[in-house]
Structure 1
Amino acid sequence: MKLQKLLFILFLSVLTTSAVAQTESQLRRKKEAIQREIEQLQKNLNKTANGKKLTIQQINTINAQIRLRQDKIGTINSEIKNLDNQISQNTNTVHTLQGQLGDLKKEYAGMIRFAQRNRNSYDKMMFIFASKDFNQAYKRIKYLQQFSQYRKKQAGYIESTKQDLDGKIKVLDKTLREKSDLLKEQEKERERLSKDKSKQAVELNKLSKDEKQFRQDISSRKKQQAQIDRAISAAIQRAIEEARRKAAEEARRKAAEEARIAAAKAKAENKPAPATPPTPTAKAKSTSELLTATPETARLSAGFENNRGRLPWPVATGTITERFGLHKLDQASYTNDGVDITTTDGAAVRAVFAGKVAAVQVMMGRTVVLINHGEYFTVYQNLKSVSVSVGNSVDTKQTIGVVANTGDDAVLKFQIRRGQAALNPEAWISK
């Protein structure tokens, strides 16, 4: 029973260690990915000369850097919490193994003392020959053999338990060192976060001094974006009207086919031909019904929706430096119908899902690509070159162009829309 209990404890320990190792690996990968994003943002900031005019993009980059630094600290906290759990579990296992080892040693010592005391009292051969019959003699031989084997097994159990105990103590020491390293790393990240916040305060102070200039910049940005958003809405409306036209044509085709069948039936029955029915009026359909009217578009919509939270990023590497929704800078404000993703110079822009290119438009020297996914649309704004044209079918992760530089950074403006309604892309792309 003691041996079974010991093996059960060791089995649970192995399972727990495996699960913790997997979680640690995931957290480590997440932390490394965050660090890569922070370093890329820092490179972008370093490219800006000290005396250069402050831009909205710079402020967004600093804010994103702070957010990432906070995420990294949170990830380190999760690592420390996992290590604390692992330390607690390993400590309990060590105590259990120590207790089991003590019990095994006591039991083994008792067996040795028993054998020593009875060494001269019982001669093995006399013990066997004193049996009443052959059956009893056989049982006594088996007893002596089993007693000897059990002593050897007990010695093996003691050695095995001691090795497991030594191994767990080494793991515990290693975990404690890892926790110490993580605490040091956490402290460094807190210092860096403090510096980033100080930098943010300095830049926001500059913004207050240049309030008039920033108001003009934001006003100009809002006008440009409004013009682009109108073009996007018009392109989406054209796609809706095209779907409506096709639905009306299909209704007319069905009505004509029904009329032809009715006329043929009347002729076969020598009856007068039925009156020509009036041109059917298509039943009013919602935008959703129009955009998912065919099996192909219905499948695209369903596939897009089923991948909510798992869509690939429109660039291979990047950081969201401006989020969806309303933004305020000092007294000025503006709305972003998507997200701004800062990436590397010359980064390829990829379709996040299979679909058909609905529009390719050049506005203010930058290209906008609109891809239709049934009821959904994705918008890729601020491209310097494109490799697709209207009507092309694209696959998931297919390159559609190259991102352009905005000021000092390569920034892709990315939107997701359901019909005309703008959705938050962060809820749709993978974390």
Structure 2
Amino acid sequence: MCGKNKARVAFLLMLVLLAVSGMSQTRRTSRTGRTKSQLEREKRNALREIRETSRILQQTQQRKDATIGQLNALKEKIAGQQNVINNISSELKYLDSDVRQTETQVQQTQQTLQQLKEEYSRLIYASAKTANSYNRIMFLFASESFNQLLRRLQYVRQYSEVRKAQAAQITNTQDKLNRQLTGLHAKRQEKSSLLSSQLTENRNLLTIKTQQDQVVTQLSRQEETLRQKLASRQKAVSRLDDLIAQRVREEIARAARAAANRAASRAATASRGNAPVRSPGSTARNAPVEAEVARTDRVTLTPETAVLSSSFADNRGRLLWPVGRGFIAQRFGKHPHPVLKHVVVENRGVDIQTNSGETVRSVFDGKVLTVASIAGMNNIVMIQHGEYFTVYAKLRSVSVSEGQQVQARQAIGTVYTDAEGTSEVQFQVWRNSANLNPENWLGRK
């Protein structure tokens, strides 16, 4: 009977160890899983962006009249608020699953612990029957041989050690169960806190949407003024488009002339040295790099500018933002006017709304191609990156000059704040004469 009890106890101990180990691992995975950590990080980022947008919104609210800049800031704040609520909802789903899993594990541990206690109780009862010294001595001296005596003596010692080990394991399991229960209580408190946060954020969202409705209502009463502003903006955009197209054409022509001059110079040098001139299709190892005919539809690149152009292209989706803080108030392409019905506006770039006085910086290494000023767009800086061009409009001040080499992150000016209190920079990306969507090129803030 004692041998069976010992084997059963050993088997149960093994089950407890495996169960506790599995529960610990499951809990650890649930707590530090990538998805949950990512959600928490995204929520922190969303809250940070809401704070930034609130500061921008506060600047636009200094005037009593509603403005498009104020409406854009409210829309961005609503989007950020919705992101926070969605993240909290996702966190609650993970936490609910974690709580249910932990509750199941606690129940299993309690059952296993109860079985261990019952087995230990039977061991104690069986041991009590032979606990006196006389029975133990009789058990030993009843051995038929000296070897059997040694085995029985070892068995008595091992039996006592198993009892002690089992008692210690019961204590350890009880301690781990208590820690599990404490963790479960903490998770339930976390869930309660998240539910409270979700309720608060929903109230905040409702407040912001109410403000948005009020601004839209006020702006709707200014239809004639908005149409005049839109017409003025379209004229400014047209002037900017003409300037960009002209400067790109001029750069294409200049690069073509430079390439032709270099080719002619090499041909003259080769002629003086009686060396044969390589044809454009030559496959000789020492063929001139620029033997090709200069292009008229795109910038003819030198080896140096080709490397810069390729590097710019390789950073698609990873470029710096032209400002350190802000949000995209108006996206690229055609989209409905935020207030005027049946009116479609077109944007060659993106309008990034930011703080007053914010520094505008170059998004990549390059050469300042143009510094100009256009009514409605204020100061403009155009930077060349090989066959790519970036345009920064609506600058209050400019700190670079034409022909200057600039580095990524280098300040090129400060953002302009209009009479309505809206501070935004117009950012565009071009490849030769092709207009590109800047959002496909900018990285995460």
What amino acid maps onto 1:313 in structure 2? W
Please tell me whether the aligned partners of residues 27 and 79 of structure 1 are also in contact (alpha carbons under 8 angstroms).
no
**1:243-322 alignment runs, 5 A limit:** 243-263=255-275, 282=293, 284=295, 287=298, 290=299, 293-322=301-330
CA distance in 2, matches of 1:297, 1:125: 99
The answer as to 2:420 corresponding to 1:412 is no
CA distance in 1, matches of 2:171, 2:268: 91
Give CA-to-partner distance per residue, 1:314-352, whole Å, 9 cap, x none.
222212222222232323332122222222222112222
- Tell me, what secondary structure is at the counterpart of 2:423? strand
CA distance in 1, matches of 2:200, 2:121: 54
What amino acid maps onto 1:414 in structure 2? F
**1:115-194 alignment runs, 5 A limit:** 115-120=127-132, 123-124=135-136, 127-128=139-140, 131=143, 136-194=148-206
The answer as to 2:250 corresponding to 1:235 is no
Give CA-to-partner distance per residue, 1:374-428, whole Å, 9 cap, x none.
3332222222222222233333322222212123022122222233333333333
**1:21-420 alignment runs, 5 A limit:** 22-49=37-64, 52=65, 54-120=66-132, 123-124=135-136, 127-128=139-140, 131=143, 136-263=148-275, 282=293, 284=295, 287=298, 290=299, 293-329=301-337, 330-331=340-341, 332-364=343-375, 366-407=378-419, 408-420=421-433
Please tell me whether the aligned partners of residues 30 and 75 of structure 1 are also in contact (alpha carbons under 8 angstroms).
no
CA distance in 2, matches of 1:295, 1:421: 22
Structure having greater relative contact order (Cα 8 Å, sep ≥ 6): 2
CA distance in 1, matches of 2:45, 2:328: 16
Give CA-to-partner distance per residue, 1:72-115, whole Å, 9 cap, x none.
32222222233223323333332333333334333433333332
Please tell me whether the aligned partners of residues 377 and 417 of structure 1 are also in contact (alpha carbons under 8 angstroms).
yes
Give the TM-score of the pair, scaled to structure 1.
0.83
The residue that corresponds to 1:11 in the other structure is 25
- Tell me, what secondary structure is at the counterpart of 1:390? coil
Please tell me whether the aligned partners of residues 24 and 82 of structure 1 are also in contact (alpha carbons under 8 angstroms).
no
Identity of aligned residues (%): 36
- The structure-2 alpha-carbon separation of the partners of 1:111 and 1:186, relative to structure 1 and needing over 3 Å to count, comes to same
CA distance in 1, matches of 2:116, 2:329: 62
What amino acid maps onto 1:349 in structure 2? V
- The structure-2 alpha-carbon separation of the partners of 1:165 and 1:220, relative to structure 1 and needing over 3 Å to count, comes to same
- The structure-2 alpha-carbon separation of the partners of 1:206 and 1:112, relative to structure 1 and needing over 3 Å to count, comes to same
The answer as to 2:443 corresponding to 1:430 is yes
What amino acid maps onto 2:110 in structure 1? Q
Give CA-to-partner distance per residue, 1:280-316, whole Å, 9 cap, x none.
88164763xx46x344434433433333333332222
CA distance in 2, matches of 1:148, 1:253: 102
Please tell me whether the aligned partners of residues 31 and 76 of structure 1 are also in contact (alpha carbons under 8 angstroms).
no
- The structure-2 alpha-carbon separation of the partners of 1:5 and 1:387, relative to structure 1 and needing over 3 Å to count, comes to same
The residue that corresponds to 1:270 in the other structure is none
- The structure-2 alpha-carbon separation of the partners of 1:6 and 1:195, relative to structure 1 and needing over 3 Å to count, comes to closer
What amino acid maps onto 2:74 in structure 1? I
Aligned length: 411
CA distance in 2, matches of 1:152, 1:245: 95
Cα deviation, residue 7, structure 1: 1.3
Structure 2 residues without counterparts, runs of 5 or longer: 1-13, 278-290
CA distance in 2, matches of 1:76, 1:148: 54
- Tell me, what secondary structure is at the counterpart of 2:382? strand
Cα deviation, residue 132, structure 1: 5.4
- The structure-2 alpha-carbon separation of the partners of 1:93 and 1:126, relative to structure 1 and needing over 3 Å to count, comes to same
Cα deviation, residue 244, structure 1: 2.6
CA distance in 1, matches of 2:272, 2:111: 93
Give CA-to-partner distance per residue, 1:100-144, whole Å, 9 cap, x none.
333433343333333233324875555555555565555444444
- Tell me, what secondary structure is at the counterpart of 2:425? strand
CA distance in 2, matches of 1:351, 1:147: 79
Please tell me whether the aligned partners of residues 252 and 296 of structure 2 are also in contact (alpha carbons under 8 angstroms).
no
